[in-house]
Homo-oligomer: A and B are copies of this chain.
Amino acid sequence: TVSRVLNGKGELDLRTAERVRQVIEELGYVPSARAVGLARGRTRIVGMLVPSLTWPWMGEVLQGAVDVVESEGYGLLLFTFNRGAESMQQFASQVSSQSFDGLLVIEPEGTLTYIEQLHARGLPVVLIDDRDKRPQFPSVATTNYAGGESAARHLLELGRRRPLVITGVERFGCTHERLDGFRDTYAEAGIELDPRLVYEGDFTYESGRRGVQHALGERLGFDAVFAHNDLSAGGAIQAVRETGRNVPSDVSVVGFDDIPYAGHTEPPLTTVHQPMRQMGQAAARMLMGYFGGTPLPDGPQVLPTTLIVRSSTAPKPRSHQ
């Protein structure tokens, strides 16, 4: 009967319910999560697997996920993947011991097949920002291609016709999408990107510097930089300024991500905003919805990027055109 009162199920007399509630209050009784979990077969906990917690935008997506998970009365069990095989081991055992009801994943490199297995075995899984295209999978993604397009369009409007691209890690899907969007837009404007001006970076500040220094060393002229994340854009700005050139007038720089750092570079960085927190929220909501009865969509939910214009981009001065 107490159980009925607590869960609000079954027919029961209002006065009895009130009396039970009163006693519960007096005793300060709280049901044990463990026992409830065992009896019900569900834990009201969702797992979240992330590659690393120290990436600059990770906090945002985590915060987004935690917010909705908590507001639904669920708990968020955190797993990372920075001790390689051992991490995976630990995680796998937690999965099979059914420590959680569903899973949010920012895919650590090379674990996709495993994650797919879990999904196939019936564990509700939502992927965040799948680097590889995985159409038949519940996931939340962002418009990397369109982000690349918007950066290109912005630079074209400013009269920048020889952009240097500092890419992300080559094996990530997002790198290709951002590059393709950018390249295609330039192509539409009748400008083919010089392949020598596409530098493979690795998302670090240093790689941004190296990209610029490399181009300069090769005596390749450029009037803009499109970096695939803000950190490398920051490095690029830095390297450009060191040569005495001005940002934005000599070289305009566009980044990607819009982490807080982007607002604090000198000059503040124009960048493609990724809605990290919203992505975390959306993924969590999908999962919560599933627990509530809504089936998981078997495709990605795509959240749009937005171009944030700050001061690192400006029209090309007449004299140089």
Contacts and interface: CB of A to CB of B under 8 A. Distances in A.
A34 B36 CA distance: 9
B261 A264 contact: yes
A63 B71 contact: no
A108 to B, nearest CB: 13
Interface stretch (A91-99, A132-140, A177-185, A213-221): A91-99
Contacts of A231: 264
Interface string A47-59: 0000011111011
Interface string A78-92: 111011001100100
A148 to B, nearest CB: 24
Contact of A70 (B31, B43, B87): B87
A93 B205 contact: no
Interface in A21-71: 30-38, 41, 43, 45, 52-56, 58-60, 62-63, 66-67, 70-71
A241 interface: yes
Contacts of A52: 63
A266 interface: yes
Contacts of A235: 264
A80 B280 CA distance: 15
In the complex, the count of this chain's copies comes to 2
Majority DSSP secondary structure for residues of A touching B: helix
A315 interface: no
Contacts of A53: 59-60, 62-63, 66
Contacts of A86: 71
A260 interface: yes
Contact of A80 (B66, B238, B260): B66
A94 B30 CA distance: 9
A307 interface: no
Contacts of A159: none
A75 B54 contact: no
Contacts of A97: 30-33, 36
A228 B120 CA distance: 51
A177 to B, nearest CB: 26
A242 to B, nearest CB: 9
B63 A80 contact: yes
B99 A234 contact: no
A33 B264 contact: no
29 contacts: A30-B97, A32-B38, A32-B97, A33-B94, A33-B98, A34-B34, A34-B37, A34-B43, A37-B38, A53-B59, A53-B60, A54-B60, A66-B78, A66-B79, A66-B80, A70-B80, A70-B87, A71-B86, A75-B77, A75-B78, A75-B79, A75-B99, A76-B78, A76-B79, A205-B264, A235-B264, A238-B266, A241-B266, A261-B264
**Which 3 A-B pairs rank lowest in CB-CB distance, beginning with the nearest?**
A33-B97, A30-B96, A53-B63
Interface of A: 30-38, 41, 43, 45, 52-56, 58-60, 62-63, 66-67, 70-71, 73, 75-80, 82-83, 86-87, 90, 93-94, 96-99, 205, 231, 234-235, 238, 241, 260-261, 263-266
